[in-house]
Amino acid sequence: MLRLDDDGIRERLSAAIEVLRDGRPILSRVDHTRGGPYALFHHLSHAMERVQDVGVIFDRMVDERTDLSELWATMVRPPNWPPGVPYEEPYASQVATQSRLTKLLKVDYESLFHFGSVLLDQWAYASGYLAGVATPEDFTFHKLSLEVQGSNVPPALAPIRHGLLRHVRWLYFWMRTYRNAFVVHANRPWQRGVVSTVRGDDFSLHTPSPAGWENEEGLHAELLGLRPLAPERIQSASPDSWERTNSKALLAAVIENIGQVDRQADRDRIAYLAGRAGTQTPTFQVVVGVLADFISQAAVGVQNAALAQPESINLGASGRGA
């Protein structure tokens, strides 16, 4: 998936906020003489708040990662330091600061999965009211993802079906499958670590399954069975290339490509094997960038499509199951 620069991410988050904030185009086309509150505007407002939360977390992570890079540039471990002896200043304070910044980045990254999934659900509820689905109050992102891949897509959701399906599938894996299995409901002794370079701005969560927990030989064979779902660059690579022969590297490439995997059964198999082998997240800029790109485009596309058929819009007035 795409990686935007920091300004591009902020621009898309701001664009999403502007669309979610302004309910005037909807009010100008739909009868709202019946008294409120209206569920649609509640969910639009809640989604906007969560976009702002994601932006706060993103800016904080950018600052933390910058501080970490600057710290590493000044750290010099004392030569020939004896094992078991505490470090002296200033290196001791630098090590403590490095540990604190790494911890902050890890907590903030995990927070992205919480607030990002709430954002997707709140926006899905709003899209359900805009599209006039039967029970918009139950229209979570999970149900939206099924709806836009079904055979009878509501007209208001057509922009997602035709232009943002890759985003939906990719975000579903990270904001639901990964979040549930690795952040919220971890049900095995994952090795919870992080990955980042000394120079650069990347930061990822690395959560492999512990050695010996699985039948490694059998799992390796199952992971290699995902090769037909890998990107074209791997399909056409030499038989002994790293991503074709290393099952964990292959899994990472397949997950990155999950937006282009059409069959639900194949995506379920990818999620199942990732839940056994463990995986590594993209750097945080990619996750926020895809989320921001999706919301900024989907908010405009769904609202415009809904306004083309305003009679289908359900404002969700009180007493109507909202």
CA distance 226 to 245: 11
pLDDT for 210-262, tens place per residue? 988 999 999 999 999 999 999 999 988 898 899 899 999 999 999 999 999 99
Structure pTM? 0.94
Judged against a pLDDT cut of 60, whether residue 320 lies above it is answered with no
HEC assignment per residue over 177-244? HHHHHHHHCCCCCCCCEEECCCCCCCCEEEEECCCCCCCHHHHHHHHHCCHHHCCHHHHCCCCCCHHH
Domains of the chain: 17-22+35-78+89-185+284-315 (1.20.1050), 204-282 (no CATH)
CA distance 37 to 316: 8
CA distance 150 to 158: 11
CA distance 283 to 273: 21
Q: What is the pLDDT of residue 187?
A: 85
With cut-offs at 50, 70 and 90, classify the pLDDT of residue 321: very low
Q: Considering the chain, what percentage of its residues have pLDDT values greater than 70?
A: 98
- In the structure encoding, which two tokens stand for residue 33, read together? 């003489």
Judged against a pLDDT cut of 70, whether residue 70 lies above it is answered with yes
Judged against a pLDDT cut of 70, whether residue 156 lies above it is answered with yes
- In the structure encoding, which two tokens stand for residue 104, read together? 């902050």
Of the two residues 193 and 317, the one the predictor is more confident about is 193
Q: Which residue has the tokens 């670590």?
A: 193
